[in-house]
């Protein structure tokens, strides 16, 4: 991400469920479906993030983009926004940079080791956080929800960082059903108890209902726009589509300093894109 640029603006809405950090919990979610949810934030899995140009926070350099992410983190950590602990990252259409921004922002939050941070891949259509993880994760969210193994074994700590990632290892065909299940909400409740910050990567909100379906379980959302790419009318559609959680701000991804975007219309591009890659 060479020219990313983060700006937030509050919408003065109260968080739906600000989660307070408690001592690491061994609580098992009381779920009928017996998903393994016993939890502590300890995990034996350590992963390296494969270096990619867009993961600017890995460099820790004095790149202005790093500064922007740290500034965004600071904005989200102070004042009224500080109470919004569990956040969805979404965008209007595919490829706006949701996953890239999620990962960078999570790494930025994790620079404060006092405030345990987790990034969860809830793009169950086309999970992508795993692309950066080495070794490639074999365990993730879906296996925990299916009761195949405990949460702790699916958590991955990023080497050199306090960030934990709960990846998703494969796509599924009915993600909304999973994301609105009691197993999922109970698992998320358990996770919230162990982390100060929970970031959730999601699919694009204009073509898919997933991010809005998650909204009632989180405190707020962040909308990513891609400079010179996200069409303005789809930005508006995205604002309208996010009904269930306040949008805390937008991140303009890939903007140059003097950027004044009027948007580009690309027709049905995003539907085709999904069809191609699935």
The footprint of Mg ion (CB under 5 A) covers: 98-99, 128
**Eight-state DSSP code of residue 267:** T
Smallest separation, CB 250 to ligand ATP (Å): 13
Q: Which residue is nearest to Mg ion (CB)?
A: 99
Alpha-helix residue ranges (DSSP H) falling in the chain:
56-59, 64-77, 98-109, 141-145, 151-154, 175-179, 182-194, 210-214, 232-241, 269-277
The answer to whether 221 contacts ligand ATP (rule: CB under 6 A) is no
Q: 2 contacts which partner out of Mg ion, ligand ATP, none, CB within 5 to 8 A by kind?
A: ligand ATP
Minimum CB separation of residue 119 from Mg ion in Å reads 12
- The reply to whether 123 sits near ligand ATP by the rule CB under 6 A is yes
Cα–Cα distance between 184 and 29 in angstroms, integer?
Answer: 10
Distances (CA, A) of 100 to 17, 96, 205, 229: 26, 9, 16, 16
Rule CB under 6 A: say whether 253 interacts with ligand ATP: yes
- According to CB under 6 A, which one of 25, 28, 111, 128 is a site residue for ligand ATP? 128
191 CB-near residues (< 8 Å, 6+ apart): 39, 118, 120, 151, 166, 198
Applying CB under 6 A, among 36, 73, 75, 126 the residue interacting with ligand ATP is 126
Query: For residues 147 and 209, which CB has a smaller minimum distance to ligand ATP in the complex?
Result: 209
Which residues are CB-contacts of 25 (< 8 A; sequence separation ≥ 6)?
39, 40, 190, 193, 194
**Which stretch in 37-45, 90-98, 104-112, 257-265 sits in contact with ligand ATP by CB under 6 A?**
90-98
- Interface residues for ligand ATP in 182-211 (CB under 6 A)? 204
Compare residues 149 and 273 and give the one whose CB is closer to Mg ion.
Answer: 273
91 contact choice in Mg ion, ligand ATP, none (CB below 5 to 8 Å, kind-dependent): ligand ATP
Residue from 91, 1, 107, 126 nearest 53 by CA: 1
| Residue ranges that bind ligand ATP, judged by CB under 6 A | 1-2, 4, 54, 91, 94-100, 123, 126, 128, 204, 253-254
């Amino acid at each position: 991400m060479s020219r990313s640029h983060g700006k937030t603006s509050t919408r003065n809405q109260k968080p739906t469920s600000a989660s307070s950090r408690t001592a690491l919990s061994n609580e098992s979610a009381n779920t009928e479906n017996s998903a393994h949810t016993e939890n502590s934030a300890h995990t034996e899995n350590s992963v390296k993030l494969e270096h990619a140009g867009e993961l600017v926070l890995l460099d820790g350099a004095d790149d202005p983009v790093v500064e922007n992410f740290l500034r965004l983190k600071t904005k989200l950590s102070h004042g009224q926004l500080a109470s919004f602990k569990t956040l969805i990252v979404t965008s209007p259409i595919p490829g706006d940079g949701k996953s890239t921004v999620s990962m960078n922002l999570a790494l930025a939050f994790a620079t404060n080791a006092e405030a345990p941070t987790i990034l969860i891949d809830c793009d169950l259509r086309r999970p992508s956080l795993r692309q950066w993880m080495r070794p490639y994760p074999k365990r993730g969210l879906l296996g925990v929800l299916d009761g195949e193994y405990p949460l702790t074994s699916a958590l991955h700590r990023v080497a050199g960082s306090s960030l934990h990632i709960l990846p998703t290892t494969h796509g599924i065909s009915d993600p909304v059903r999973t994301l609105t299940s009691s197993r999922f909400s109970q698992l998320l409740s358990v996770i919230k108890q162990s982390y100060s910050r929970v970031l959730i990567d999601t699919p694009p909100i204009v073509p898919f209902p997933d991010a809005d379906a998650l909204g009632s379980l989180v405190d707020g959302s962040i909308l990513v726009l891609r400079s010179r790419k996200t069409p303005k009318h789809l930005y508006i559609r995205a604002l309208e589509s996010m009904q269930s959680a306040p949008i805390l701000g937008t991140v303009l991804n890939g903007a140059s300093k003097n950027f004044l975007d009027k948007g580009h219309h690309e027709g049905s591009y995003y539907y085709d894109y999904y069809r191609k890659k699935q």
